[in-house]
Amino acid sequence: MKRKAHSQAESHKPHKKKFKTSLGDEDAKKKFRKGLFDKDVLDKYTKGYAKSTPYKHSVIHELIDDTLLRTVREEIKDNVSFTPKETDIYKIHQSGDLANLDGLDDEALAKLPSLLALRDAMYSQAFRDYVAHITGCGPLSGRKTDMAINVYTPGCYLLCHDDVIGSRKVSYILYLTDPDIPWKAEWGGALRLFPVRTIKGKDGEVARTPAPDVSKIIPPAWNQLSFFAVQPGESFHDVEEVYHAESKKQLEKEGGRVRMAISGWFHIPQIGEDGYVEGAEEKLAKNSGLMQLQGNPDQYDLPQLKPVKVEQPQSSSQEEFDEADLEFLLKYMTPTYLTPDTLEQVTEQFEEFSTITLPNLLGKKFAKRLRDYVVAQESSPLPEDSAKIEKGPWRVAKPPHKHRYLYLQADSSKKNGASKEDSSPIKELLEEFLPSPQFRRWLQIATGSVVESHDFIARRFRHGKDYTLATGHEGKPRLEMTIGITPTSGWGGAEDEDEDEDEAAAEEEQSKSNGKGKSKGKAPKKSSKKEPEKEEPIEVGGHEVYMAGDDDANEDAAIYKSGNDDDNILFFEAVSWNNMSLVLRDSGALKFVKYISQKAPGDRWDISGTFEVEELDDDDEDGNQANGEGVLDDTEEEWNGFPSSSDSDSD
């Protein structure tokens, strides 16, 4: 599935009005810095572009006349509105397409004269020829303008993609950061380029796929232009998260860390322009698709599913559990979930909603051992380099334009030379508890399904690095499981709300107890200290999201937040400790784990499971949702499982 990165195509329908720049070469050149168009300067950039790695790109400092660009920045700040937009792949604030400036009335246009002049200069014949000479990409269109203003504030980012859509030829970004407060590299926001691995298959076919680690980092700078020719399967890049400051005071001192930029693309010539070739756009799209598929790069994606088939699948009932089975399950599970009444409630809720969240699934003793292990692992420093990480049992999920995280499969530790003595509670879950026939029978009762196969994987999403992008599911409905085993708090989920409520209740109780024994008639003194204002909670990501797929090819189905609209989320699971969620997933439903901010309190840890299940007969489906065995419908209310019992063996 081809994922779209942020572009003007996502925020509006194509602008049909023809635009033709009226700037002549000499007028256009005056908008740029003096000497930019000198032959020796052009030759220097051309030679630098040819030698650049990991793929050809260029960086031009002080591109635009400084006075003009400062005026542009002020016009934008005073007159341009931005829409917050969030998908699986990015979080940004975006303006409309600047091609639409031509459609503004005279009064509105009068407020943006410098911005209009900049756009016309960027798409002038003089500058298009300049870019074409450096990149060697051939003629570029002056009529098809494709640019917008994007603002990245702390917490914003754009994940890995190659920019290959339609007739794009050159991708560029012109920074409008604060000219008087130089951007610091440690603030993030850099354009980062990924090297591409070339893999030769057994059939001799060569596939190209991006490596998981970036090899070129280009921090933002005032009036800096970065650009490169769009190359299918090669021009992979991302925009590093703009990192949060340590405090509000520090953020204000640094000008807010506002990464403002004009970004967009130059396209191939359109009808009536010099260099136009009939059918070139269609040919470009076809060749792009072929290049992306060459050598079947999907076969090198990691991790690969490793489903284990169940011999003679059949339904289960509680009567099947003997004493030995219950003893085995009690080694791992909270006793509450093994009682007939509770299990019956779970079954009823799952049959109604096709999804359920069960808190405190793991029993107290095993959960403590697991928590201690995860905390110890997270406190140990990790190498930055993926190759060094993979010297141990954990592997790095790849390619990064689909996902990136650390994972452990049941047999991956054996491949890396780990011995049987290198056991851990996570491996015990993967290799003993979850694949056991006892757990499978319990799961079948809980969900009213018949399991045909199972596949489990442990995942660790590093904060400031990892994510999964939206992927669909084709075929019959399947059962999916996630057990949250993240020991840190402060992720903004229900657990944090419960902790806040507990703290407030404890403070109130303490206040009451402090009031006892005081002499009559004397009220406790009020503190003269002013209570500090509570800062707005920071969204740090890490949540798992299910969404309905979109049949409209022009829309990005994974847009789950635009302004205040997030109604299209079907199921949302925050980062948690010892919670198990089960979802019966329909064909076409999208799923992703949101990028985890560097500001997160730690890494996200979970166990992910996939179960192929028997399809119900038509007669059995009559009692289910109108839209089939699907994920939670957005009109339904999610059931959040059972409260922890004071006498149960759980945390």
Give the pLDDT score at 531: 52
**Stated length of the chain:** 651
Per-residue burial over 577-588, b if 16 or more Cβ lie within 10 Å, else e, is bbbbbbbbbbee
Give the pLDDT score at 104: 82
* Window from 140-154, 262-276, 615-629 with minimum mean pLDDT: 615-629
Q: Is a pLDDT exceeding 60 seen at residue 500?
A: no
**Single pTM value for the model:** 0.87
According to DSSP, residue 299 is labeled: G
Distance (Å, rounded) from C-alpha 550 to C-alpha 214?
A: 31
Q: Give the three-class secondary structure for 463.
A: coil
Give the pLDDT score at 32: 98
φ/ψ (deg, to 5) at 563? 70, -125
Nearest to 416 by CA among 400, 399, 393: 393
How would residue 258 be classed by pLDDT, with cut points 50, 70 and 90? very high
The rounded radius of gyration (Å) of the Cα atoms in the chain is 28
Q: Is a pLDDT exceeding 60 seen at residue 642?
A: no
Given a contact cutoff of 8 angstroms between Cβ atoms, the answer to whether 370 and 179 are in contact is no
Among 517-526, 530-539, 569-578, top mean pLDDT goes to 569-578
According to DSSP, residue 520 is labeled: T
Residue listed under structure tokens 């919670």: 579
Mean pLDDT for all residues in the chain: 85
Could you report how far apart the first and last alpha carbons of the chain are, in Å? 41
